[in-house]
Amino acid sequence: MELSSTAVRTAADIVLTVHVLYVAFVVFGFVAIIWGAALRRGWVRNPLFRFLHLGAIAIVALQALLGLPCPLTVWERDLRRAAGQDPTDLEFIPRLLQSVLFFELPPEFFLALYLGFTALVILTLWLVPPRLQRRLPQQH
């Protein structure tokens, strides 16, 4: 069964949306950690959130360090080609989402950005450590 070009284009748009959400989690997650720590919010010490956040940026930094392309970028591009769509000829929303993700800068810039951001996330783990153990209820 062969998918229609519209279905494949829609799949490419979904991959692009997931990519934007991934970046948003990394960027706004960091902002939320700083904000939550400043306001002494307990959720900021949630280990699942904190280690998922670290893992998300560490994957990006490792890929850049190894010189590997982002699999979401590759997947989206391949889907658009399979749909016969020129990746530069997009409708408004996909074009807007791509403008949030992609910039014409040297790879060294992005490598430094990703490594620096990873270092900042690690620093927040040290300054605002997650709670790894549950507190036991007080015995009376």
What are the DSSP calls for 40-60, one per residue? T-GGGG-HHHHHHHHHHHHHH
Query: What is the tally of structural domains in the chain?
Result: 1
Average pLDDT, the chain: 93
Give the model's pLDDT for residue 132. Answer: 84
For residue 137, being part of any structural domain is answered with no
For residue 135, being part of any structural domain is answered with no
For residue 134, being part of any structural domain is answered with no
On the question of pLDDT at 136 being above 70, the answer is no
Q: What is the pLDDT of residues 96-119, one digit of tens each?
A: 999 989 989 999 999 999 999 999
For residue 90, being part of any structural domain is answered with yes
> Could you tell me the pLDDT band of residue 52, with boundaries at 50, 70 and 90?
very high
For residue 136, being part of any structural domain is answered with no
**Residue 33, number of CB atoms within 10 A of its CB:** 23
On the question of pLDDT at 65 being above 70, the answer is yes
The stretches of 39-140 forming alpha helices (DSSP H) are 47-66, 71-82, 92-101, 107-127
For residue 25, being part of any structural domain is answered with yes
For residue 140, being part of any structural domain is answered with no
Which domain range does residue 86 map to? 5-127
> Could you tell me the pLDDT band of residue 16, with boundaries at 50, 70 and 90?
very high
**Residue 81, number of CB atoms within 10 A of its CB:** 13
Give the model's pLDDT for residue 139. Answer: 67
pTM: 0.89
Give the model's pLDDT for residue 81. Answer: 94
Q: Is the dihedral of CA 44, 47, 52, 55 positive or negative?
A: positive
